[in-house]
Amino acid sequence: MVNVSVLGAAGGIGQPLSLLLKTNEQVGVLKLYDIVNVPGVAADLSHVNTNSTVYSYLGSEKLGEALEGADIVIIPAGVPRKPGMTRDDLFKINAGIVRDLAVGIAKTCPKAFVLVISNPVNSTVPIVCEILKKYGVFDPKRVFGVTTLDVVRASRFIRDVIPDVDSFATSVPVIGGHSGNTIVPLLSAVQPKVQLTETQIEEITHRIQFGGDEVVKAKDGAGSATLSMAYAASRFANSLIKAFSGALVIEPTYISLDADPKNASIVRNLGAGDLQYFAVPVRLGTNGVEEIVPLPPVSKFEAKAIEVAVGALSENIVAGTKFVQ
């Protein structure tokens, strides 16, 4: 049985994510933490007749209790975008929120697997890693930026163009980061293979990179993706939980490349250069990242996209790292 703590559980992502986690029978304890409204969310969820027990923790003085015994900590705490904002505009508020939560993790459950959803993921993951380093408890195999929504969108958007594709069974490696042109879908490596024209490749790539903006615009001031994000985060958490019991599971995720220095060199040779963090497909296991899955050679179009991504990503990583150091 796995103990999961959700930090920011009363929010737009936190609520449906907690519901989806409540339906996973491998979850024994589900701890919900927020600074508002969380007792009601927990009371509501606790009536769902799966075997896990739900607990609620309201306010920062309860953070330690919320993290006690956690195997997996999922962080959707923080503010979402409004139209006209970039994810980087969220740094001002979310960097401090994520830093304080990471301190709690370092002190209370340093061995937990940490799944970071709060934006800007390109910077919040370095923040979590730097805090864990400060406390001497950093394990690069255990901290994940959740980029699953990019992968979910990629397989769905391909079906919008080629209707006989089974979206659920289609896997698209998406590498780089999680914002605009730092998101690099490798459409040349879609499995099962699909035939796309150059124009389709350009259009689908752009849509995956800016899919978040579609939702922000449609919600018109009421936030960003929450339901598809909850689905994506629960898919990642479920994959990790499956991997604990020996299943072969591969998911792309934004990690410190120190998690697998040997295979990191393959990613570096693809164009990631000396970046410390990059989204890559990883094989998950009992230790978290078991290995970075080697990627096939990329197309010219993808190589150019990686080049563009690296510049922006590098700035985001420096911002996150400097914030803590």
Ligand X SMILES: O=C([O-])CC(=O)C(=O)O
Ligand Y SMILES: NC(=O)C1=CN([C@@H]2O[C@H](COP(=O)(O)OP(=O)(O)OC[C@H]3O[C@@H](n4cnc5c(N)ncnc54)[C@H](O)[C@@H]3O)[C@@H](O)[C@H]2O)C=CC1
Structure token digits, residue 100? 């304080």
- Residue 94 annotated as part of some ligand binding site: yes
* 172: CB partners within 8 A, 6+ apart: 151, 154, 155, 158, 185, 186, 187, 189, 190
Considering CB under 6 A, how many residues would be counted as binding ligand X?
10
- Residue 269 annotated as part of some ligand binding site: no
- Residue 263 annotated as part of some ligand binding site: no
- Residue 8 annotated as part of some ligand binding site: yes
Strand partners, 270: none
Q: Which residues of 180-315 form beta strands (DSSP E)?
A: 183-185, 249-256, 277-285, 288-292
Among 56, 119, 123, 155, which residue sits at the site for ligand X (rule: CB under 6 A)?
A: 119
Measured CA to CA, the distance from residue 136 to residue 134 in angstroms comes to 5
Q: How far is the CB of 108 from ligand Y (least distance, A)?
A: 14
Q: At what angle do helices 198-209 and 148-161 cross, to 10 degrees?
A: 140
Measured CA to CA, the distance from residue 193 to residue 164 in angstroms comes to 13
Among 21, 34, 187, 292, which residue sits at the site for ligand Y (rule: CB under 6 A)?
A: 34
115 binds ligand X (CB under 6 A): no
Measured from the CB atom, the residue of 220 and 274 that comes closer to ligand X is 220
Q: What is the 8-class DSSP label of residue 33?
A: E
Based on its alpha-carbon atoms, the radius of gyration of the chain, rounded to whole angstroms, reads 19
- Residue 51 annotated as part of some ligand binding site: no
180 binds ligand Y (CB under 6 A): no
Measured CA to CA, the distance from residue 314 to residue 296 in angstroms comes to 23
Q: Which does 34 bind (CB under 5 to 8 A by kind): ligand Y, ligand X, none?
A: ligand Y
Catalytic annotation, pick one of 73, 178, 243, 260: 178
Among 21, 70, 116, 149, which residue sits at the site for ligand X (rule: CB under 6 A)?
A: 149
Q: Which does 216 bind (CB under 5 to 8 A by kind): ligand X, ligand Y, none?
A: ligand X
**From 96-104, 211-219, 248-256, 279-287, span contacting ligand X (CB under 6 A):** 211-219
293 binds ligand Y (CB under 6 A): no
Among 78, 104, 176, 288, which residue sits at the site for ligand Y (rule: CB under 6 A)?
A: 78
Among 66, 90, 267, 279, which residue sits at the site for ligand Y (rule: CB under 6 A)?
A: 90
183: left (phi over 0), alpha (psi -120 to 50) or beta: beta
98 binds ligand Y (CB under 6 A): no
How many other C-beta atoms lie within 10 A of the C-beta of residue 228? Answer: 19
**Which of 57, 81, 40 has its CA nearest to residue 6?**
57
Tell me, yes or no, if 178 is annotated catalytic.
yes
Measured from the CB atom, the residue of 3 and 253 that comes closer to ligand X is 253
What stretches of the chain show up as alpha helix (H) in DSSP? 14-22, 38-45, 63-67, 91-108, 121-134, 148-161, 198-209, 211-219, 227-244, 261-267, 300-324
Q: What is the 8-class DSSP label of residue 142?
A: S
Among 22, 87, 141, 207, which residue sits at the site for ligand X (rule: CB under 6 A)?
A: 87
**What is Dmax (Cα atoms) for the chain?**
55
Measured CA to CA, the distance from residue 66 to residue 60 in angstroms comes to 10
121 binds ligand Y (CB under 6 A): yes
**Catalytic residue numbers?**
178
Could you list the residues that contact ligand Y (CB under 6 A)?
7-8, 10-14, 34-36, 76-81, 90, 94, 97, 117-119, 121, 146, 149, 178, 223-226, 229
Binding region for NAD(+): 8-14, 34, 94, 117-119, 229
Q: Binding site residues for substrate, as ranges?
A: 81, 87, 119, 153
Q: Which residues bind ligand X (CB under 6 A)?
A: 80-81, 87, 119, 149, 212, 215-216, 224-225
